[in-house]
């Protein structure tokens, strides 16, 4: 049974300003039947004031029209539902909801900020969405959710190498850019980010480059951000400025039809965030995709709240971030996260 809309509205309109449904209570996740969407719509503004994450459940598998806009995630028992619905598949409704609750209860502030950034970003252009994400990311770096995660994961010291982490190769009118840090699964640290930014700038400024390919060396396209560098910035305001100025996602978007990304193995966190900004995204049939940042007390910080919603919508992006589930290549293709499947080496 789902809580009736009347109970949710009462909590949203309580004298405390809806705090019972916010991250302040540690329970910002609200799950209701999509059949109650009409009554919830009456007080959508009040619900948003408390910043709850609204999940609508369609247990009948009907995927009704016109209900998704007030929700952050819409789940259904239907198989291969239309956008923006997410099928619970073989996992079942309660198992999926349990995963969502686990992430939200463990990281309530990060989860609430993630849903809010996606909602607001849906009304902004690409540049505005990137700026909003970066500001929110810097704020969460100073938060308790992230500090708890960082304290439980000691920073590892790795040997320093002068070997370039991004390799360039010119092939006639094409420039092939390769993430060349396979020993770290092409994790995106500050150095790789800066080298990738320089490579994409070069491609954007050179009119003789008609095509750009972005690839990853080794079995993994990219494991995402280098976890050992998370939280190392002393100045969070300056980190925001660096993040927005040296943004591979922005440059990938600016390259437009010239850029194709080829993904093999895993594209996790920043890996899929950057790749999703390309006009064309090709994946190996064995590839998988994941957004794990909310489970670390953060939100995607490499541009994912701008790039992924423009491919799969904010609802499915929110589901990826709050569930932490792997999305396999075939589901990614059905969602529009990738454009085609072919062997990638």
Mean pLDDT in order along the chain per 10 residues (345 residues):
58 60 79 82 61 90 92 96 97 97 94 95 96 96 93 84 94 97 96 97 96 98 93 88 94 97 98 98 98 97 97 98 97 98 94
Rounded Cα gap, residues 304 and 140, in angstroms? 16
Domain count, the chain: 2
Check whether residue 98 and residue 142 sit in a common domain. Answer: no
Check whether residue 16 and residue 160 sit in a common domain. Answer: no
pLDDT computed for residue 215 by the predictor: 98
Check whether residue 28 and residue 95 sit in a common domain. Answer: yes
Chain mean position to CA 238: 23
Among the candidates 71, 106, 141, a domain finishes at 106
Contact 309, 118 (CB under 8 A): yes
Among the candidates 47, 75, 106, a domain finishes at 106
Among the candidates 74, 106, 138, a domain finishes at 106
Check whether residue 230 and residue 298 sit in a common domain. Answer: yes
Check whether residue 168 and residue 227 sit in a common domain. Answer: yes
Check whether residue 90 and residue 163 sit in a common domain. Answer: no
Is the pTM above the cut of 0.85? yes
Contact 132, 300 (CB under 8 A): no
For residue 217, being part of any structural domain is answered with yes
pLDDT computed for residue 7 by the predictor: 60
Rounded Cα gap, residues 46 and 198, in angstroms? 45
For residue 120, being part of any structural domain is answered with no
CATH number at residue 333: 3.90.226.10
Check whether residue 141 and residue 73 sit in a common domain. Answer: no
Place of tokens 């809806």: 18
CATH number at residue 38: 3.40.50
Check whether residue 173 and residue 231 sit in a common domain. Answer: yes
Q: At what angle do helices 144-151 and 108-121 cross, to 10 degrees?
A: 120
pLDDT computed for residue 300 by the predictor: 97
Check whether residue 95 and residue 242 sit in a common domain. Answer: no
For residue 171, give its domain range.
126-341
Residues in a beta bridge with 263: 283
Check whether residue 139 and residue 223 sit in a common domain. Answer: yes
Check whether residue 138 and residue 89 sit in a common domain. Answer: no
φ, ψ for residue 30 (rounded to 5)? -120, 125
Check whether residue 159 and residue 280 sit in a common domain. Answer: yes
For residue 295, being part of any structural domain is answered with yes
For residue 113, being part of any structural domain is answered with no
Buried b (16+ CB within 10 A) or exposed e, 49-58: bbbbbbbbbb
């Amino acid at each position: 049974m789902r809580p009736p809309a009347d109970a949710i509205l009462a909590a949203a309109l309580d004298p405390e300003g809806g705090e019972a449904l916010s991250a302040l209570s540690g329970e910002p996740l609200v799950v209701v039947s999509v059949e109650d969407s009409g009554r919830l719509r009456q007080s959508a503004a009040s619900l948003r004031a408390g910043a709850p994450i609204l999940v609508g459940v369609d247990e009948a598998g009907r995927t009704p029209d016109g209900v998704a806009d007030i929700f952050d995630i819409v789940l259904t028992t239907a198989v291969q539902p239309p956008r923006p619905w997410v099928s619970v598949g073989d996992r079942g409704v309660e198992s999926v909801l349990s995963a969502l609750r686990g992430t939200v209860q463990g990281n309530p502030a990060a989860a609430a900020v993630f849903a809010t950034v996606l909602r607001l970003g849906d009304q902004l252009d690409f540049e505005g969405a990137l700026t909003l994400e970066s500001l929110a990311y810097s704020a969460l770096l100073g938060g308790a959710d992230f500090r708890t995660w960082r304290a439980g994961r000691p920073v590892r010291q790795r040997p320093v190498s002068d070997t370039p982490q991004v390799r360039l190769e010119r092939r006639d009118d094409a420039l092939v850019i390769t993430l060349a840090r396979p020993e770290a699964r092409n994790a995106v640290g500050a150095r790789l980010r800066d080298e990738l930014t320089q490579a994409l700038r070069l491609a954007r400024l050179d009119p003789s480059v008609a095509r750009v390919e972005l690839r990853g060396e080794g079995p993994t396209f990219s494991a995402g951000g280098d976890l050992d560098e998370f939280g190392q910035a002393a100045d969070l305001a300056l980190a925001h400025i660096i993040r927005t100025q040296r943004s591979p996602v922005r440059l990938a978007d600016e390259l437009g039809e010239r850029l194709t990304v080829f993904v093999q193995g895993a594209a996790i966190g920043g890996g899929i965030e950057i790749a999703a900004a390309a006009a064309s995204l090709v994946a190996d049939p064995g590839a998988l995709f994941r957004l794990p940042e909310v489970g670390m007390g953060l939100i995607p910080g490499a541009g994912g709240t701008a790039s992924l919603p423009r491919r799969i919508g904010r609802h499915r992006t929110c589901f990826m971030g709050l569930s932490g589930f792997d999305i396999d290549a075939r589901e990614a293709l059905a969602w529009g996260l990738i454009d085609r499947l072919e062997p990638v080496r």
